[in-house]
Homo-oligomer: A and B are copies of this chain.
Amino acid sequence: MYKVKDVANIVGVSVRTLHYYDQIELLQPESITPAGYRLYTDRDLERLQQILFFKEIGFPLTKIKEILDRPDFDRMHALHAHKEILLEKKKRIEEMLSTVEQTIHSIEGGTKMKEEDMFKGFDMKDIEKHQKKYSDEAKQKYGKEIVESAERRTAKYTKEDWARIQQESNDIYKKIADQMHTDPSDPEVQQAVADWRQHITDYFYECNLEIFRGLGDLYVNDERFTKNIDKFKPGLAAFMRDAMHIYCDQQEKER
């Protein structure tokens, strides 16, 4: 029979932790004295030890309770699922690290990094400017008419409209960026690309396949586009161009 502090010293946790585990019914001492003192047995200590093992590998206490309270619980499945979670977390942290390092690097490099470069454009003016770029480029390549019709349409948009449009386009970018580990011909990617073309058609101009293909090229040939797009994820611009080409090839074949 061990009292709280004995247990705490033996396994190296705090008394508070034992109180808490008692409270959430994760580890309740086998007996209690008339004075209310918790008395733990060796069996309790074993359970605690198991709790600590699962805790060490990052399981939340609720899961641990499930695992320990139900002997039929599929530990193997739990471990695999948990591994996935850990891999996700690791990826997140690695992304953070890479961003931090890039930031440190670009400050050290004396580039001094204007904030406009550092952050994605977001407000109405930025979106307009962004669109202007498209327009100018498009003018040279596909004639004025389309562009002017686009400008007539965008001129009417309220700031709420712009917000929604921006949001929607961000979503598409993100969806594609999330699929960069697969192939540009992947059905999910192709669906997102189709959405992207539809988005442009809906909000800016009738985006035929010729224009769409040219737009894809623009993404890698014009560094203003490349930089902006690659902010979502490095390499996204090139990936999108490939996906857009594949999309156009397939559409043309279908006719």
- Measured CB to CB, the residues of A under 8 A from B are 2, 6, 9-12, 42, 45-46, 49-50, 52-53, 56-58, 75-76, 79-80, 82-83, 86-87, 89-90, 93-94, 96-97, 99-101, 103-104, 107-108, 115, 118-120, 122-125, 159-160, 162-164, 166-167, 170
Contacts and interface: CB of A to CB of B under 8 A. Distances in A.
A207 B217 CA distance: 75
The number of times this chain is found in the oligomer is 2
Of A49, A101, A170, most B-chain CB atoms within 10 Å: A49
Contact of A100 (B11, B83, B122, B166): B83
14 contacts: A2-B159, A9-B160, A9-B163, A9-B167, A12-B167, A45-B122, A50-B119, A57-B96, A57-B100, A58-B96, A75-B107, A79-B103, A83-B104, A90-B94
A119 B97 CA distance: 33
Contacts of A46: 115
Contact of A159 (B6, B57, B75, B86): B6
Contacts of A96: 56-58, 86
A97 B107 contact: no
Contact of A104 (B80, B89, B124): B80
